[in-house]
């Protein structure tokens, strides 16, 4: 394998931060992952992407030091020296950029994008790595783009025979041009409805609405995040179940792997798993890991989540979220191709309950990426 250092350690470049609304969460993820990385096998390097999209060189120690201080989340420091990934013959190198001068040029073998949301989880940076001839952890270009888009993800899942909540999708300009027709289409689904930016995350821009006034306001709110919108029927009476999925191991195990599922238990009636419940208030929602499900229902959920992973063509890792009805019926909600990945996040916690530590999980993902061929696959 190219790019292995004389020490024998594999140089890995971790990318974090980013321009999406999940910048801060990504910084926390990066600190967690770097803290747990097996540094006997991997040599870590960092690229912090600031909120304007600028790239900055970070050392592993600087990444590990990112933490929440007095309630304010960490962010990438835009005053740090620039970072550059350049293709040099058949290797890809990371370099520091001071004005016009390059320094610290070093070959890297694989990138680990710890980025959530648009321009991180949506195929854009994955396309950049493809152009650089650099292997990377996680889903490829098309799967990342489909997984990010709550409309395209449903199309792929339905084509694979999975069930999703009935929905309509349109753009802000389509809505502005013809309010009345879209209202008719949305109301035909029946209230309550969820209004979502198609390519959002962390519940940003999402509303649950019960009438037409709330609906119109929710559309304007969601459109501030994304001009493409998805409006769907609320699944009432379903349990919110999530499952961690990983690609096959390189050593011949051809099966997609699923973890034990977990459950999000909301305390408020009609409450949903919003940003506050996810990151701010620990009293609104409870994570039950593993979920208390009858064995046949657990098996059905795991199978549906594995099928969703394959339906979008994911690789590496995904957290697949579903609603499970009392009769065992499973509705796919979403697939996150770069799920929350701090040590206490659902994705690693589910693997822990399934027998894999945070450190082993990170190594597994890098090994999967290294075993993938470059180019079309
Ligand atoms: N159709 C639905 N029925 C019931 N609850 C929903 C529905 N869609 C979303 N929710 C609630 O809203 C939360 C956020 O929606 P989700 O589609 O997962 O967006 P995000 O990508 O921002 O996490 C879910 O975790 C769930 O609590
Ligand atoms: Mg979600």
Cα(57)–Cα(78) distance, integer angstroms: 10
Return the closest-CA partner of residue 230 out of 300, 347, 150, 115. Answer: 150
- CA atoms in the 13 A half-sphere facing the CB of 121: 29
pLDDT tops 60 at residue 152: yes
- The ligand 1 atom at the shortest distance from the C-alpha of residue 321 is 18
Cα(125)–Cα(119) distance, integer angstroms: 6
pLDDT digits (tens, 9 = 90+) for 85-139: 999 988 999 999 998 899 999 999 999 999 998 999 999 999 999 999 999 999 9
Return the closest-CA partner of residue 25 out of 283, 339, 240, 358. Answer: 339
Residue 136, Cα to own-chain centre: how many angstroms?
A: 15
Residue entry with tokens 């979920």: 291
Task: Indicate the range of 118-132, 199-213, 243-257 predicted with least confidence.
Answer: 243-257
Look at ligand 1, atom 16, and give the residue with the nearest C-alpha.
Answer: 203
First to last CA, the chain: 18
pLDDT digits (tens, 9 = 90+) for 69-85: 998 999 999 999 999 99
Look at ligand 1, atom 19, and give the residue with the nearest C-alpha.
Answer: 203
CB 263, CB 292: distance < 8 Å? yes
pLDDT of residue 363: 97
pLDDT tops 50 at residue 1: no
Q: How far is CA 83 from CA 42, 58, 100, 107, 225, in A?
A: 20, 8, 12, 13, 28
Q: Produce one character per residue of 344-354: b if its CB has 16 or more CB atoms within 10 Å, e if not.
A: ebbbbbbbbbb
Dihedral angle over CA of 274, 279, 280, 286, nearest 10: 70
Mutate to test the pocket of ligand 1, among 150, 203, 231, 340 (most ligand atoms within 8 A of CB): 203
Residues in contact with ligand 1 (CB, 6 Å cut-off) = 165, 194, 196, 200-203, 206, 232, 234-235, 240, 272-273, 321, 333-334
pLDDT tops 70 at residue 250: no
pLDDT of residue 204: 87
Look at ligand 1, atom 25, and give the residue with the nearest C-alpha.
Answer: 273
pLDDT digits (tens, 9 = 90+) for 48-71: 999 999 999 999 999 999 999 998
Mutate to test the pocket of ligand 1, among 118, 333, 347 (most ligand atoms within 8 A of CB): 333
Cα(300)–Cα(305) distance, integer angstroms: 9
pLDDT tops 60 at residue 144: yes
CB 250, CB 371: distance < 8 Å? yes
Q: How far is CA 196 from CA 124, 142, 256, 272, in A?
A: 21, 21, 29, 13
Cα(204)–Cα(225) distance, integer angstroms: 8
Residue 164, Cα to own-chain centre: how many angstroms?
A: 19
pLDDT tops 60 at residue 197: yes
Residue ranges and CATH numbers for the domains of the chain are 10-136 (3.40.50.20), 145-164+236-371 (3.30.470.20), 167-233 (3.30.1490.20)
Mutate to test the pocket of ligand 1, among 206, 277, 320, 337 (most ligand atoms within 8 A of CB): 206
Name the band, by pLDDT with cuts 50, 70 and 90, for residue 5: low
Q: How far is CA 98 from CA 14, 147, 180, 328, in A?
A: 20, 36, 55, 58
Average pLDDT over residues 141-147: 97
Taking all residues of the chain, what is their mean pLDDT, rounded to a whole number?
A: 93
Six-digit token string for 327: 């009769």
């Amino acid at each position: 394998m190219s790019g292995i250092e004389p020490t024998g350690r594999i140089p890995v470049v971790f990318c974090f931060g980013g321009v999406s609304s999940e910048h801060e969460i990504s910084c926390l993820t990066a600190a967690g992952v770097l803290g747990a990385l097996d540094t006997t096998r991997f040599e870590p390097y960092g690229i912090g992407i600031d909120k304007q999209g600028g790239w900055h060189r970070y050392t592993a120690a600087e990444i590990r030091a990112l933490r929440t201080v007095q309630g304010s989340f960490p962010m990438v420091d835009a005053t740090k020296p620039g970072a550059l990934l350049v293709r040099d013959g058949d290797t890809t190198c990371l370099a520091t950029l001071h004005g016009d001068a390059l320094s610290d040029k070093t070959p890297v073998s694989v990138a680990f994008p710890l980025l959530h949301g648009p321009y991180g989880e949506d195929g854009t940076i994955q396309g950049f790595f493809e152009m650089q001839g650099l292997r990377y952890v996680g889903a490829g270009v098309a799967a990342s783009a489909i997984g990010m888009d709550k409309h395209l993800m449903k199309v792929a899942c339905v084509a694979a025979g999975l069930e999703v909540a009935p929905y309509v999708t349109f753009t802000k300009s389509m809505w502005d041009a013809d309010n009345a027709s879209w209202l008719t289409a949305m109301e035909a689904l029946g209230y309550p409805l969820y209004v979502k930016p198609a390519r959002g995350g962390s519940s940003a821009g999402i509303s649950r609405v019960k009438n037409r006034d709330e609906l119109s306001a929710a559309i304007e709110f969601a459109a501030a995040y994304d001009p493409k919108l998805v409006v769907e029927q609320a699944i009432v009476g379903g349990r919110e179940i999530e499952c961690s999925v990983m690609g096959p191991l390189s050593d011949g195990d051809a099966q997609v792997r699923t973890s034990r599922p977990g459950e999000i238990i909301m305390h408020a009636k009609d409450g949903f798993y919003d940003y506050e419940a996810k990151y701010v208030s620990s009293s609104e929602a409870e994570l039950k890991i593993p979920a208390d499900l009858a064995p046949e229902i657990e098996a059905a959920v795991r199978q549906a989540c594995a099928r969703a992973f394959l339906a979008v063509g994911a690789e590496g890792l995904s957290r697949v979220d579903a609603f499970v009805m009392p009769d065992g019926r499973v509705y796919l909600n979403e697939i996150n191709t770069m799920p929350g990945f701090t040590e206490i996040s659902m994705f690693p916690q589910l693997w822990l309950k399934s027998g894999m530590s945070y450190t082993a999980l990170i190594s597994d993902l890098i090994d999967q990426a290294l075993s993938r061929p470059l180019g079309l696959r």
